């Protein structure tokens, strides 16, 4: 993994050039588009700070990134300059962060992790229907009980069933016997096609599924399956902290990924990223998108080009080395919190490559949870677990105060 760090001026220049390649609502006679720059009363573009902010400049110019730009030359040719930046962003994520081959992946900037996960499920459902004549009732999404709720949401929207796998209470790993038994039962009920979700970190625990064990079960049993990785939380930390990660396009079992800029990269909301091996995006083609020049392959339709710009800018401003340092230090801070908890005899779950640490509920009083905004696994009485997410704003002093308070409470 390597890409260069760019200076603020270099970044600003590249964005200016991209905006220059777009057709401006300001200077061209654009008559046929139901869009414009942002409202001039509220978002006047002569505010002095806008000139220095490539992101705000793009936001005000309001380019539409509808469609999938890695697939078709330009879905909406008016904005081809900033769409090229999005293409560059997908390439960087797919090839540098996720180890994909050159120009072998498609993708787009989605509204968030939820949309990117549902996009994957949608594509594979359509793939099974088109290529194998599968009926909805023969297709199921398979995921662990710790998976994000976008999986049941997607299965519900797409009218396919869910197979939810139990995990071990302390390791949070999928229980092999449960997997085997539930898949056998599903096969007996007529399920033939599986969409398997592997977590490159779950929301509550930061646990990373044992992908080799799960994929070898599906491969050995000759089950029709496609593997999507939900890296909405871990996608911008795990590949930087774990050099031996099995979660990359070098792993032939994996077909697609969700990443989320608006978690670990601190980009604005609206920066989910969906990436898939070439040859699959087509299964999400909406033929009827006739007014869009390059057609549409995404769930969301119109979306702001400023979102793609923001993620691209963050990645370029840090460079791969800068992000490695940043993500490793968050993981290290989490590890040292774990060491202090161990000394106190407090039970917790922590994957060493991830910045989430989840403490057993019995050690945390409601007052302590309230004081530090700890998030429970359930908002009913007596949660089993509370999590701490060591994000950039989490300072060592606050972690130290938490440990002091916890020590006096137990």
Ligand X SMILES: Cc1ncc(COP(=O)(O)O)c(C=O)c1O
Decide: helix, strand or coil at residue 262: helix
H or E, element range at 399 = helix 396-409
- What are the backbone angles phi and psi of residue 372, rounded to the nearest 5°? -105, 15
Q: Of these, 12, 121, 134, 232, which contacts ligand X (CB under 6 A)?
A: 232
Number of residues located near ligand X, criterion CB under 6 A: 13
Q: Which of 247, 143, 148 is nearest to 195 (CA)?
A: 143
Q: Does 203 bind ligand X (CB under 6 A)?
A: yes
Q: Does 150 bind ligand X (CB under 6 A)?
A: yes
Query: Least distance in Å: CB of 271 to ligand X?
Result: 8
Q: Does 320 bind ligand X (CB under 6 A)?
A: no
Q: Does 272 bind ligand X (CB under 6 A)?
A: yes
Q: Does 76 bind ligand X (CB under 6 A)?
A: no
Region of 4-12, 33-41, 225-233, 287-295 interacting with ligand X (CB under 6 A): 225-233
Q: Does 233 bind ligand X (CB under 6 A)?
A: yes
Q: Does 113 bind ligand X (CB under 6 A)?
A: yes
Query: Least distance in Å: CB of 382 to ligand X?
Result: 23
Region of 24-32, 106-114, 123-131, 291-299 interacting with ligand X (CB under 6 A): 106-114
Q: Does 64 bind ligand X (CB under 6 A)?
A: no
Q: Which of 111, 123, 101 is nearest to 261 (CA)?
A: 111
Decide: helix, strand or coil at residue 113: helix
CA distance 99 to 389: 27
Q: Does 146 bind ligand X (CB under 6 A)?
A: no
Query: Least distance in Å: CB of 200 to ligand X?
Result: 8
Q: Of these, 91, 148, 295, 303, which contacts ligand X (CB under 6 A)?
A: 148
CA distance 101 to 277: 10
Q: Which is nearer to ligand X, 257 or 297 (CB)?
A: 257
Query: Least distance in Å: CB of 330 to ligand X?
Result: 16
Given a contact cutoff of 8 angstroms between Cβ atoms, the answer to whether 294 and 74 are in contact is: yes
Q: Does 358 bind ligand X (CB under 6 A)?
A: no
CA distance 51 to 42: 16
Q: Does 238 bind ligand X (CB under 6 A)?
A: no
SS (H, E, C) 201-226: CCCCCCCECCHHHHHHHHHHCCCEEE
User: Both tokens of residue 307?
Assistant: 């979102």
Region of 113-121, 205-213, 308-316, 317-325 interacting with ligand X (CB under 6 A): 113-121
CA distance 270 to 219: 35
Q: Does 112 bind ligand X (CB under 6 A)?
A: yes
Query: Least distance in Å: CB of 149 to ligand X?
Result: 8
How many residues can be counted in the chain? 410
Region of 10-18, 39-47, 110-118, 310-318 interacting with ligand X (CB under 6 A): 110-118
Query: Least distance in Å: CB of 21 to ligand X?
Result: 30
Q: Of these, 14, 64, 82, 114, which contacts ligand X (CB under 6 A)?
A: 114
Q: Does 230 bind ligand X (CB under 6 A)?
A: yes
Q: How many CB atoms lie within 10 A of CB 42?
A: 7
Query: Least distance in Å: CB of 319 to ligand X?
Result: 25
CA distance 89 to 68: 13
Q: Which is nearer to ligand X, 21 or 145 (CB)?
A: 145
Give the CA distances from residue 290 to residues 66, 67, 75, 293, 301, in Å, rounded to whole numbers and listed in that order: 13, 12, 11, 7, 13
Give the CA distances from residue 62 to residues 33, 48, 69, 269, 308, in Å, rounded to whole numbers and listed in that order: 12, 18, 17, 16, 12
* Chain residues that interact with ligand X, rule: CB under 6 A: 112-114, 117, 148, 150, 202-203, 230, 232-233, 260, 272
């Amino acid at each position: 993994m390597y890409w260069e760090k760019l200076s603020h001026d270099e970044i600003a220049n590249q964005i200016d050039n991209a905006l220059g390649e777009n057709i401006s609502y300001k200077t061209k006679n654009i008559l046929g588009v139901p869009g414009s720059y942002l409202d001039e009363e509220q978002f006047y573009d002569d505010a002095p700070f806008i000139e220095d902010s490539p992101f705000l400049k793009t936001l005000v110019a309001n380019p539409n990134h509808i469609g999938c730009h890695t697939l078709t030359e330009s879905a909406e040719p008016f904005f081809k300059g900033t769409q090229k930046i999005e293409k560059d962003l997908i390439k960087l994520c797919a090839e540098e962060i996720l180890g994909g081959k050159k120009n072998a992946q498609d993708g787009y900037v989605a509204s968030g992790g939820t949309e990117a996960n549902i996009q994957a499920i949608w594509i594979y459902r359509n793939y099974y229907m088109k290529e194998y004549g599968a009926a909805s009732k023969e297709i199921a999404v398979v995921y662990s009980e710790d998976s994000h709720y976008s999986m049941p949401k997607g299965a519900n929207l797409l009218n396919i069933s869910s197979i939810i796998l139990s995990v071990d209470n302390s390791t949070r790993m999928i229980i092999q016997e449960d997997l085997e038994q539930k898949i056998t039962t599903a096969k007996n009920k007529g399920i033939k096609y599986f969409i398997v979700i592997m977590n490159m970190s779950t929301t509550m625990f930061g646990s990373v599924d044992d992908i080799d064990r799960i994929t070898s079960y599906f491969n050995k049993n000759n089950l029709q399956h496609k593997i999507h990785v939900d890296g909405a939380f871990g996608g911008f930390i795990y590949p930087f902290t774990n050099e031996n990660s099995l979660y990359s396009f070098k792993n032939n079992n994996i077909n697609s990924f969700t990443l989320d800029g608006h978690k670990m990269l601190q980009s604005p909301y609206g920066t989910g990223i969906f990436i898939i091996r070439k040859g699959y995006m087509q299964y999400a083609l909406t033929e009827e998108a006739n007014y869009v020049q390059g057609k549409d392959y995404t769930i969301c339709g119109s979306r702001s080009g400023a979102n793609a710009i923001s993620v691209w800018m963050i990645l370029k401003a840090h460079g791969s080395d800068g992000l490695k340092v940043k993500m490793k230090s968050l993981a290290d801070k989490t590890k040292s919190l774990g060491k202090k908890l161990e000394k106190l005899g407090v039970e917790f779950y922590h994957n060493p490559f991830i910045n989430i640490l989840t403490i057993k509920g019995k050690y945390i009083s409601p007052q302590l949870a309230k004081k530090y905004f700890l998030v429970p696994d359930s908002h009913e009485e007596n949660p089993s677990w509370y999590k701490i997410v060591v994000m950039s704003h989490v300072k060592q002093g606050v972690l130290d105060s938490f440990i002091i308070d916890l020590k006096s409470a137990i």
